[in-house]
């Protein structure tokens, strides 16, 4: 599409579609939701709206070498809740949601295997364990396998369209609008029920790998997941939970890749610059090697602060056969890590792999950040369901749990559609207003010819969050005054959104990605401000409140008030349902 055709919104071609169930995001959770919806009612029209291409989209685009949650023989759903509770330091988490997720967990994984996913087996023919809840897989093509299954069930897949906003009628969601990221067209999709499965938010913070050249998104999480699913919900007043429970993890230094493959798969301990086993030597009182995830994630950073860095995973005891197996594992998930080692000429039996903390992410598949949902995965806004990384309350669900949540969201959405007496009304004025908002950066470029580029605003946001809202360069620490500063300057950036410019569709998408990140960042800072304690060091460290406050063993939730424009923050009790 030429730039000229996009100069004015009224000249942009509109595409109007209608479906029974719309799924925003064709990643893992979205695909399982689509398949389950068609199984429950093959007569329903099920449509997936995907920003990239379903074959290689979402967090599984490059594959995986393990599934991190599977209930093995001798274990129960309640055991999974207890383990997950321990990983978040005793809570809070939604134990009711964790139990319902666990009910479908194994079914999803076993079906995936039936569809073609190779899962490794032990000598007894059981899934090969890799740690307490993990199983090892050959998962390089796991997303492709899932995409083929979606097509088999005759789901409609619309690739290369990024959702921009929900359409709301009398308080319920009746569809979405979207931007065609290749053709530049404006999409209006009317739906009986909508399931959001867009994934979490990356790129809020400056990663340590950003060297000021072109490394903005050399990050651990999918760089295409920018928090749009959260931002759309925030804008219509959906309730959000636990944004302050950020996901910060130990990652391979200068590559930003996962280390569980090494530390869990091959029992390689983290060591410091003195050669001490970090967790055994300095964190035995918190569980040592079995310490909660946030302790293990924060430990290398504390070693640096204590003058005991750099930090490593000790691979020097590995045999040549183990090194070969390790590299094969990485080829299933992060093939470029093998190239990274080769480029350095690094023999990991002689030189351990250096590790460091990642930049923080908002990702409900690992921590509990996301939409506040019910057991059927309905949100606080009628007609809208959430699953996967964008759904809150269930930390440690990972790939298998996100798939199970897709199934649960489909069950809820199918029941909701069956009970509808009408599909609601789409307001033409709301569509017109949203279209003007979406194409505004192109209008700014056409009429003024100058302004703020999406990259410039992104750089400012990432540095602001890093320095004032507990980024990796501040060793995850923040305090009240820094957070107030961050909020003030996020507001300034939001006021400057009207100066954003885009000279093509690619930059128009980038403009909306940074707008959505601003929305998520604002809510995140409000959550960090409210939790005046340090509950999960690293994930959430308040330098001015270094201790845990048991009065705050509850959920911190928020809701944007569209009438006042304010973010309202409040608490909900933590209800323990498993002893």
pLDDT in tens, 214-229: 667 778 888 899 999 9
Angstrom CA distances, 213 to 156, 217, 330, stand at: 40, 11, 27
Reading phi first (left if > 0) and then psi (alpha if -120 to 50, else beta), residue 3 is in alpha
- Tell me which DSSP letter residue 422 carries: -
Q: Domain coordinates of the chain in residue numbers?
A: 10-61+142-199+363-419, 250-357, 428-549
Q: Find the angle CA(373)-CA(376)-CA(382) to the nearest 5 degrees.
A: 65
Enumerate residue ranges in the chain where pLDDT < 70.
1-7, 212-215
Question: 3-state DSSP call for residue 247?
Answer: strand
Task: Please report how many Cα atoms fall inside a 13 Å half-sphere around the Cα of residue 168, on the Cβ side.
Answer: 16
Q: Which of 293, 308, 482, 542 is catalytic?
A: 293
Rounded to whole angstroms, how far apart are CA atoms 74 and 64?
Answer: 25
Task: Please tell me the predicted confidence (pLDDT) of residue 213.
Answer: 64
20-to-44, 110, 171, 238 alpha-carbon distances in Å: 6, 28, 19, 22
The SS3 assignment for 79 reads helix
Give CA–CA dist 248/213, Å, rounded.
23
Among candidates 63, 36, 70, which has minimal Cα distance to 118?
63
What is Dmax (Cα atoms) for the chain? 70
Answer whether 138's CB lies under 8 Å from 112's CB. no
**Helix runs in 214-307, H state only:** 228-235, 260-263, 278-282, 293-305
SS3 call for 452 = strand
CB atoms within 10 A of CB 90: 15
Residue 388 makes CB contacts below 8 A (sequence gap 6+) with: 25, 27, 28, 29, 30, 197, 199, 364, 365, 402, 405, 406
pLDDT of residue 62: 85
Taking the CB of residue 154, how many other CB atoms lie within 10 A of it? 11
Tokens of residue 325, six digits:
């197996």
- What letter does residue 317 receive in the DSSP assignment? T
H or E, element range at 505: helix 505-530
Q: What is the full DSSP assignment across 111-172?
A: HHHHHT--B-B-TTSSBPBSSSS-EEB--TTHHHHHHHHHHHTT-EEE-SEEEEEEEEETTE
Out of 1.20.58.100, 2.30.110.10, 1.10.150.20, 3.30.70.100, which CATH number does the structure's domain 428-549 have?
1.20.58.100
Q: Active site includes 293?
A: yes
Round to whole Å and give the CA distance between 355 and 533: 27
CA nearest 394: which of 382, 408, 410? 408
Q: What is the DSSP string of 347-391?
A: -TTTSPEEEEEPPPBB-TTTSS-EE---TT-B-SSTTEEE-GGGB
Exposure string for 478-498, b = 16+ CB within 10 A, e = fewer: bbeebbebbbeebeebeeebe
Give the per-residue pLDDT at 414: 98
> Tell me, what's the pLDDT at 330?
86
What is the pLDDT, as a whole number, of residue 3? 45
What is the three-state SS of 457-479?
A: HHHHHHHHHHHHCCCHHHCCEEC
**Which pLDDT does position 6 carry in this prediction?**
55
Strands (E), 424-525: 477-478
Q: Distance between CA 178 and CA 23 in Å, rounded?
A: 13
Does the pTM exceed 0.75?
Answer: yes
Bridge-partner residues for 48, per DSSP? 23, 157
Residue 261 is predicted with a pLDDT of 80
Q: What is the CATH number of domain 250-357?
A: 3.90.700.10
Residue 208: per-residue pLDDT? 83
How high is the pLDDT of residue 220? 84
Superfamily in which the 10-61+142-199+363-419 domain is placed by CATH: FAD/NAD(P)-binding domain (3.50.50.60)
């Amino acid at each position: 599409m030429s730039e000229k055709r996009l100069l004015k919104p009224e000249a942009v071609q509109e595409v109007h579609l209608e479906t029974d169930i719309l799924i925003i995001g064709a990643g893992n959770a979205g695909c399982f939701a689509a398949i389950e919806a068609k199984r429950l009612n093959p007569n329903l029209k099920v449509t997936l709206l995907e920003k990239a291409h379903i074959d290689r989209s979402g967090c599984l685009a490059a594959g995986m070498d393990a599934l991190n949650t599977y209930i093995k023989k001798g274990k129960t759903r309640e055991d999974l809740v207890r383990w997950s509770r321990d990983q978040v330091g005793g809570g809070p988490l939604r134990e009711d949601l964790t139990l319902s997720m666990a009910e479908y967990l194994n079914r999803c994984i076993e079906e995936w295997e039936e569809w073609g996913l190779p899962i490794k087996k032990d000598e007894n023919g059981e899934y090969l364990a890799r740690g307490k809840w993990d199983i090892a897989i050959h998962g390089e093509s796991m997303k492709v396998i899932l995409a083929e299954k979606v097509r088999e069930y005759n789901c409609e897949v619309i690739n290369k369209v990024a959702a921009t906003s929900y359409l709301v009628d009398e308080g319920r969601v009746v569809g979405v609008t979207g931007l065609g990221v290749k053709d530049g067209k404006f999409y209006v999709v009317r739906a009986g029920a909508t399931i959001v499965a867009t994934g979490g938010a990356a790129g809020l913070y400056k990663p340590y790998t950003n060297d000021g050249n072109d490394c903005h998104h050399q990050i651990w999480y999918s760089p295409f997941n920018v928090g749009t699913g959260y931002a759309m919900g925030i804008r219509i007043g959906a309730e959000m939970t636990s944004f302050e429970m950020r996901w910060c993890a130990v990652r391979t230094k200068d590559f930003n890749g996962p280390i569980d493959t090494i530390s869990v798969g091959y029992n390689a301990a983290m060591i410091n610059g003195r050669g001490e086993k970090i967790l055994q030597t300095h964190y035995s009182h918190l569980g040592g090697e079995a310490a909660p995830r946030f302790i293990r994630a924060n430990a290398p950073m504390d070693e640096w602060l204590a003058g005991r860095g750099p930090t490593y995973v000790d691979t020097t005891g590995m045999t040549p056969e183990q090194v070969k197996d390790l590299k094969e594992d990485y080829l299933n998930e992060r093939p470029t890590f093998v190239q990274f080692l080769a480029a350095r000429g690094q023999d990991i039996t002689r030189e351990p792999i250096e590790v460091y903390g990642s930049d923080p992410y908002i990702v409900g598949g690992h921590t509990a950040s996301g939409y506040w949902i019910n057991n059927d995965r309905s949100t606080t806004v009628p007609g809208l369901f959430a699953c996967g990384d964008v759904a809150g309350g269930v930390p440690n669900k990972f790939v298998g749990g996100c798939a199970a949540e897709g199934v649960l969201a489909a069950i809820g959405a199918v029941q909701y559609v069956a009970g509808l007496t009408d599909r609601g009304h789409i307001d033409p004025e709301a569509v017109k207003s949203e279209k003007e908002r979406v194409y505004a950066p192109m209008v700014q470029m056409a009429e003024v010819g100058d302004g703020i580029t999406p990259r410039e605003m992104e750089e400012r946001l990432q540095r602001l969050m890093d320095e004032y809202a507990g980024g990796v360069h501040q060793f995850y620490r923040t305090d009240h005054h820094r957070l107030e500063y961050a909020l003030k300057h996020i507001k300034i950036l939001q006021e400057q959104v009207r100066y954003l410019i885009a000279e093509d569709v690619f930059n128009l998408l980038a403009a909306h990605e940074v707008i959505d990140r601003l929305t998520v960042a604002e809510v995140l800072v409000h959550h960090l401000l409210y939790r005046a304690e340090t509950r999960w060091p690293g994930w959430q460290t308040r330098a001015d409140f270094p201790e845990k406050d048991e009065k705050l063993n509850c959920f911190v939730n928020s809701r944007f008030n569209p009438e006042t424009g304010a973010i309202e923050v409040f608490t909900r009790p933590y209800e323990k349902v498993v002893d």
